[in-house]
């Protein structure tokens, strides 16, 4: 996933992942009901979300809308 990001977008950003077993409150706070989930944030607010295994084009669409 991160390789895809670097190939398509040459910009500074922040990326992260969360171990929901070690941090059980995070899914509740972000209203995550299924994993895997990909959330896009802008200025600390969720601006897009994709759940499950999705095609590359859908991920890129989410990223483009979030930028």
pLDDT digits (tens, 9 = 90+) for 8-62: 666 666 778 889 999 999 999 998 989 899 998 888 889 999 999 999 899 888 8
CB atoms within 10 A of CB 22: 7
Which of 39, 50, 49 has its CA nearest to residue 15? Answer: 39
Q: Please tell me the predicted confidence (pLDDT) of residue 44.
A: 85
pLDDT given for residue 2 in this prediction: 62
pLDDT of residue 15: 75
Higher-confidence residue of 3 and 52: namely 52
Token reading at 42: 């802008």
Greatest CA separation found in the chain? Answer: 33
């Amino acid at each position: 996933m991160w390789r895809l990001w670097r190939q398509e977008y040459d910009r500074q950003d922040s990326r992260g992942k969360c171990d929901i077993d070690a941090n059980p409150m995070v899914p509740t706070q972000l209203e995550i009901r299924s994993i895997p989930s990909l959330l896009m944030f802008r200025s600390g607010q969720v601006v897009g979300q994709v759940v499950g295994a999705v095609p590359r084009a859908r991920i890129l669409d989410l990223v483009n809308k979030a930028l």
